Structure 1
Amino acid sequence: MKILHINAGLENGGGLSHIVNLLKEAKQEKQDFTLLTLSEGPVAKAAREAGIRTYTLGTSSRYDLSILKKLKAFINDGGYEIVHTHGARANLFLSLIHKKIAAKWCITVHSDPYLDFEGRGWKGKMFTKLNLRALKKADCIFAVTKRFANLLIKKVGLNPEKVHVIYNGIFFHGASDVPAKYEHMYFNIINVARAEKVKGQDLLLRALKELDDPHIRLHIAGDGSQLEALKSLARQLEISPQITFHGFMSQKQLKNLYRRMNLAVLTSYSESFPLVLLEASDNLVPILSTEVGDIEKMIPDSDHGFIAKNGDISSIAQQLRAAIAMPQNQLEEMAQREKAYVSENFSLERQLASILQVYRSLN
């Protein structure tokens, strides 16, 4: 099968990792996958560096509809059997030409489509409607959690036969490929997430204040619209000396930072199936998350990690206390158990096999 994946090209973080890693696995398995981005940006750059066959259309703006004719020709002339879009903008463009292409059309829903444009006024409401309309037109939908699948079926009104749950995966490294840990004097916590309201870093800061433990150090890795507000909140709570705001960090930089982390924490209000926690686990860092997405699939019980109630500062603080109180050797054993579990169940090899099975059913 000849498969074309399409993304706007401006993704960073989890979305970028999902697309590039999936295509890397396909390349290793000698599958005929190609990436097309609407614009030059981080996705195309990362894909080319990974040796993935990559093209860009060169749109002049986010919603440059003049390239629709070019997009249609690229798909039809390329003889692609499946077109697979990621992200609302790519979904919108395909929805406008899907009746003029021969290929079947699949969409991966990475996040709650009702929240993607939240807080953007009338434009956000318009783009939400357009994205929901696109989802209804596609031949196949991949939902990265069962919760998203249920939302798409019950709230959006999609045909259940078109919706397939495919959990995210990553490349896991062997023990010899995971760098040794640094010795350090603090209990170091890392939060890898965009600094946006949906990621709930404000909850984490308030939980840290509630703990009132100067032995804790929090490292926030991510840029976003809320970064300055979070710095201001840290000053207001008088915990600034305990927090380092790193801004955006590359995978190489993160891997080095993981070497001195005791715990990886995600306090989001909404998530799909967070790759950042899989990546932390791959680096043998225990994980703590709010009960978002299908997190119980990633953390099946208290032997494998910590789960706090969604949006609940006291619950987050309680789970942090439990992690901090746990002897270091038990935390290390937890990290080993979790990595063994997730590497068995959420590898890219398994993810790609599931996707290919659905592709074949469409032809």
Structure 2
Amino acid sequence: MVILHIISGGEVGGSKKHLLTLVNNINSSDIKNIVVCFIKGKLYEEAVSLGIDIRLIKQNKRFDLKIVDDIKQLCEKEKVDIINCHGGRANFIGYFLKKKYDAKYVTTIHSDYKEDYKGNFYKTLIYSNINRLALKSFDYYITVSDNFKDMLIKRGFNKEKIFVVYNGIDFNRKYQKFEKESIIKKYNLPKAEHYITMVARLHPVKNHRFFLKACSMVYKEFNDVVFILVGDGELESELKEYASKLGIKNNVTFVGFKKPDEFIFISDFTVLTSFTESFPLSILESAFYKKTVISTMVGGIPKLIEDDKNGYLIKIGDEEKLYKKMLELLKNKKKAEELGQNLYDKASKNFSIENFTDNYKKIYKSIMYGG
């Protein structure tokens, strides 16, 4: 069975990690994976370093359809059986490829396509609607949470054609113990006894203003803390200005797009305040380091986080609860550690890389052979 994964290549977040983790770990004598991307970015470079079979077929513009014939030729040469698209740009190409090459077509739904361009009216009007139309042409769908499956069903997609695979990470990898002081020095972080990290691209859908507002409320009562924002994006200058307006600019640090491990390691806990999510890898990375998470009650997150058992769930906009739970964990180290251990125990059991790849194998075989 030969599977061709198509992705734009410009991704830097969860979908990139999802795909590379899948292709690098779905080891099977009867499955061959090939990745095609359109942009020579970080995804391409990381795939090459991992020894993944990735082919760069450059697309000059988003609507450049010349690459469809190039991908068709590759499919014919490699005798591709299943084409798995990842993301709106790949779905768009998949729509046209389906008219030229006979295979099973499946797309992995990493996000709510109606929210991908939140805050940008033009892109939402054009790209989100194009993606919606392209999605209708696929034979099957893989969502990364039950919540996203329900979303597709409500929007008229056939529930019999939708599979669910939750993200997983390697909980057996070597646990790297960092030195807190060296991390502070390495990234020139403000010195404090306590750190709280949020890992999310600086995009409207991640709702950073909600997080920063709660941070300002915490700071009024507990000022020996630094809030770390890991990620880059269009809102950086706006969010810096907002932090300044709230009077916490000296206690908020924007570190840009970085591997989050070191920041999670030095943190008391992590926070995620998104309007919408699938099943973010950032909460699994927090679980790996036995750090609990305070998160909005969205997407598949409640599948892992149980309120007051291994973390805290809050409603979007409930600044009071977010502030109170952040303050509680800052003041109660034992509670934070207990919740972090509980999160690790559940995540390592249910969201391992083995579960992740095994589920994909079953789906591919079901798509190919039925049953």
Query: What TM-score do the two structures reach when normalised by structure 2?
Result: 0.91
Partner of 1:179: 177
Partner deviation per Cα, 1:63-106 (whole Å, 9 max, x = no partner): 21121111222122220111100000000001012132122011
Alignment of 1:338 with 2:343, yes or no, is yes
- TM-superposed CA distance for 1:52, in Å, is 0.8
CA distance in 2, matches of 1:298, 1:347: 12
CA distance in 2, matches of 1:43, 1:246: 20
Are the counterparts in 2 of residues 206 and 237 from structure 1 also a CA contact under 8 Å? Answer: yes
Partner of 2:298: 292
SS in 2 for 1:318: helix
SS in 1 for 2:126: helix
- TM-superposed CA distance for 1:173, in Å, is 3.7
Partner deviation per Cα, 1:282-332 (whole Å, 9 max, x = no partner): 122221111111211111341211111123222211221222232x23322
The share of aligned pairs that are identical, in percent, is 31
CA distance in 2, matches of 1:181, 1:283: 14
CA distance in 2, matches of 1:104, 1:14: 25
C-alpha change, 1:345 and 1:167, in structure 2 (3 Å) is same
Match of residue 280, structure 1, among 277, 286, 299: 286
Unaligned runs of 5+ in 2: 182-190
Look up the equivalent residue of 2:175 and give its one-letter code. D
Look up the equivalent residue of 2:366 and give its one-letter code. S
Are the counterparts in 2 of residues 173 and 282 from structure 1 also a CA contact under 8 Å? Answer: no
Match of residue 235, structure 1, among 223, 230, 244: 244
- TM-superposed CA distance for 1:121, in Å, is 3.1
CA distance in 2, matches of 1:139, 1:332: 45
Aligned residues: CA RMSD: 1.8
Partner of 1:90: 90
Partner of 1:199: 206
Partner deviation per Cα, 1:17-75 (whole Å, 9 max, x = no partner): 11111111114888411111122111111111111111110112232112111122212
Partner deviation per Cα, 1:166-217 (whole Å, 9 max, x = no partner): 111112245x623156378522100111111111111111001122121221
Mean CA deviation greater in 182-191 or 68-77:
182-191
Partner of 1:2: 2
Partner of 1:147: 147
SS in 2 for 1:246: strand
Are the counterparts in 1 of residues 291 and 343 from structure 2 also a CA contact under 8 Å? Answer: no
CA distance in 2, matches of 1:91, 1:68: 12
Residues 192-341 of structure 1 mapped to structure 2, 5 A cutoff: 192-211=199-218, 212=220, 213-249=222-258, 251=259, 254-326=260-332, 328-341=333-346
C-alpha change, 1:230 and 1:260, in structure 2 (3 Å) is same
SS in 2 for 1:119: coil
SS in 1 for 2:136: helix
Are the counterparts in 1 of residues 106 and 140 from structure 2 also a CA contact under 8 Å? Answer: yes
Look up the equivalent residue of 1:203 and give its one-letter code. F
CA distance in 2, matches of 1:30, 1:282: 31
Look up the equivalent residue of 2:117 and give its one-letter code. F
Partner of 1:350: 355
Residues 65-84 of structure 1 mapped to structure 2, 5 A cutoff: 65-84=65-84
Partner of 1:44: 44
Mean CA deviation greater in 20-29 or 331-340:
20-29
Q: How many residues align?
A: 357
Partner of 2:164: 165
SS in 1 for 2:98: helix
Unaligned runs of 5+ in 1: none
CA distance in 1, matches of 2:204, 2:323: 19
Look up the equivalent residue of 2:121 and give its one-letter code. G
Look up the equivalent residue of 2:99 and give its one-letter code. K
Mean CA deviation greater in 31-40 or 11-20:
31-40
Are the counterparts in 2 of residues 76 and 102 from structure 1 also a CA contact under 8 Å? Answer: no
CA distance in 1, matches of 2:43, 2:358: 23
C-alpha change, 1:336 and 1:160, in structure 2 (3 Å) is same
SS in 2 for 1:322: helix
